[in-house]
Every structure is written in structure tokens, then in C-alpha cells.
Copies of this chain bind each other. A is one copy, B any other.
Amino acid sequence: MRTSSRKPPVPTGQFVDDLATQAEALVRLWDQAEDWAVPRIPPSQVKVLSLLRYRGEMNLSALATKFGAIPSSASRLCDRLEASGLVQREVPADNRREVRLSLTREGRRRLESFDDARREDLARVLERMSAEARAALLDGLREFSTAAQEARDASA
């Protein structure tokens, strides 16, 4: 048996296992960046900011879904982010029961400080790799990003 399923059946196998194993170092390095950047803000708040930048503006329900939480929790999170000036709430005129969420300028600036820390962590590892491996990694990640986008579109 080489397949399993959660919703639709998907192929699996040794390759997926190996990739999952080898990807962990990159993921850990990435996630670690927020521990360095100052001022320290709670992980959930960082996650919301990143989501808003990565996926763009959205309403509260969409944020909750992509965040992996329920609207109630997301609303509370936004209370704090709005209070500290990192996120804006805005009620669109054409549908007054939605709340449009977006990053403020300060929210973007804060994310960029995480980016800086992350690029330095990445650079310290990349400089120990061969030029060939670096190129392979970038090419592989590029196609992965494209494929991930397609997979999201297909399931939407």
C-alpha cells in the first residue's frame, strides 16, 4: 500500500518522507527569526501579520480560516493588533457586515525587521553550501511555490 488519504486520495512514498525529513532544518531556521527580532511580539501576532502580507487584505472570517482558528479568537487578536497600531479594521461601504483587515505602515515595518533577522540566519547557512546546491535549492523552491499556488487554486 503506497497511498493514504485525508480528504482526496494522494500519492505518497519514500520521496515524500525524505523531503519532509530534509525540510525540517529550513523550517526551523525560518521560524526562529521571530525570536531574535526586537521588540518581541507574541507568535500569534507575528503569524497574523505574515498572513496579511502573504495573502493580502481579507475579512475576519478568511483570516480565522487561514490562521487555523475560529472568528472569535481572530477578533480578539485583531483587537490587540489594532490597539498597537499594526493592523487596521475597515468596514466596506458595499457590505457593512464584513470587516476588511489590512497592515498599517508600522505593521509592514515590523515584518521587515523579522525579514532582516531571517536573511542573516539564512546567509550564515547558505555560505557553507556549494554554489550548485544553492542553485538547486532555489530552483526547487521556486517550482514548489508555483505548484503550491496551483494546488491552492485547484482546491478553492
Q: Which residues from chain A sit less than 8 Å from chain B, CB to CB?
A: 4-6, 10-12, 15-20, 22-32, 34-36, 43-44, 54, 68, 115-120, 122-130, 133-145, 147-151
Contact = CB atoms under 8 A, between A and B. Distances in A.
Q: How many copies does the complex hold?
A: 2
A143 B126 CA distance: 9
A137 B19 contact: yes
A26 to B, nearest CB: 6
A72 to B, nearest CB: 15
Given A27-B31, A136-B140, 18 more contacts: A4-B116, A6-B120, A10-B127, A19-B134, A19-B138, A22-B144, A23-B30, A25-B144, A25-B145, A26-B144, A26-B145, A31-B31, A125-B144, A129-B147, A130-B143, A137-B137, A137-B141, A137-B144
